Amino acid sequence: MRYHGVLVDVGGVGVLLAGPSGAGKSECALELIARGHRFVADDAVELTREGELVIGRSSAAIGGHLEIRGLGILSVADLYGPEACAESAAVDLVCRLDPGRADFDRTGLDRESEELLGVAIPRLVLPSPPGASLATIVDAAVRDLRLRRAGTDAAARFAARWQRSSQS
């Protein structure tokens, strides 16, 4: 399956950046790469299912290249070294960038998922207004995902604390 998006390995968590053209997917990926994370694919991510995992790769024709508006096509390996690229990554999180959306989850309690090849992948919908530090937000989302998988859910803990304080 071919998916329109950008795939980056953020500290061992495969993040599929999705959204309409011009939402900032490639620019977010470039900032993540500059922070030391690994680039997998831009524009046309090839997805396959391996057991319960969805694995993303770049197509052979455009592998290792990232398009940035105003700069053109960049070779990630030439700019940041071969270690800045990964052949593939499991898709662990979909971050859908939505520049026009005003109604988004403000608590983190509403968990969404996106089905890819029959596998439910956690999904966040992130506003992407001009000037937003999307890479910082994506990095925080990855850290929060790791914590939730380890049993620490800050949003649920906050909601419980809020409920207790409002009953006092």
Told to judge if 92 belongs to the known catalytic residues of this protein, a careful annotator would answer no
CA distance readout (Å), 3 to 59, 75, 109, 147:
11, 21, 27, 27
Rounded Cα–Cα distance for residues 69 and 154 (Å): 37
Of the residues 37, 38, 42, 43, only one is catalytic, namely 43
Told to judge if 42 belongs to the known catalytic residues of this protein, a careful annotator would answer no
- Could you tell me which residues come within 8 angstroms of residue 154 by beta carbon, excluding any fewer than 6 positions away? 108, 144, 147
Told to judge if 35 belongs to the known catalytic residues of this protein, a careful annotator would answer no
Told to judge if 96 belongs to the known catalytic residues of this protein, a careful annotator would answer no
Catalytic positions, written as ranges: 4, 25, 43, 106
